[in-house]
Amino acid sequence: MKRSWLILAALMVFAVISCAGGNATVKEPDPLEPARKELHKGIAWYQKGCYHNALPHLLRAHEQFTAYDHLPGIAMSLNNIGNVYGKLGDPESAILFFESSQTIYRDLDDIAGAVQALSNKAAVLIKIGKLDDAEATLEAAQKLLYTTGGTNPVLLNNWGVLLTRKKAYVEAEDMLMAALKASDPNYYPQAASIHFSLGHLMSTTGRYDEGLEHFRKALDNDHRSGFHQGIADDLAAIGTLYQREGEHTAATAHFQRSIKIYALLGNEERALAIMEMLEKSAREAHVDIAVTRHFISQWARGEILESPCK
pLDDT tens digits, 223-243? 999 999 999 999 999 999 999
Rounded to an integer, the average pLDDT of 29-43 is 95
Per-residue confidence (pLDDT) for residue 260, from 0 to 100: 96
In tens, the pLDDT along 251-290 reads: 999 999 999 999 999 898 999 999 999 999 999 999 999 9
Return phi, psi of residue 110, to 5°: -95, 90
Integer-rounded Cα Rg, in Å, for the chain is 26
Positive or negative torsion for Cα 56, 57, 61, 62: negative
- How confident is residue 218, by pLDDT bands cut at 50, 70 and 90? very high
Q: Is 28 exposed, middle or buried (0-12, 13-18, 19+ CB in 10 A)?
A: exposed
CB proximity list for 180: less than 8 A, separation 6 or greater: 153, 191, 194, 195, 198
Q: Are 136 and 173 in contact (CB under 8 A)?
A: no
Per-residue confidence (pLDDT) for residue 205, from 0 to 100: 96
Name the amino acid, one letter, at 7: I
Per-residue confidence (pLDDT) for residue 8, from 0 to 100: 42
CB proximity list for 88: less than 8 A, separation 6 or greater: 51, 52, 55
Share of the chain above pLDDT 90, in %: 84
- How confident is residue 25, by pLDDT bands cut at 50, 70 and 90? low
Does pLDDT of 21 surpass 70? no
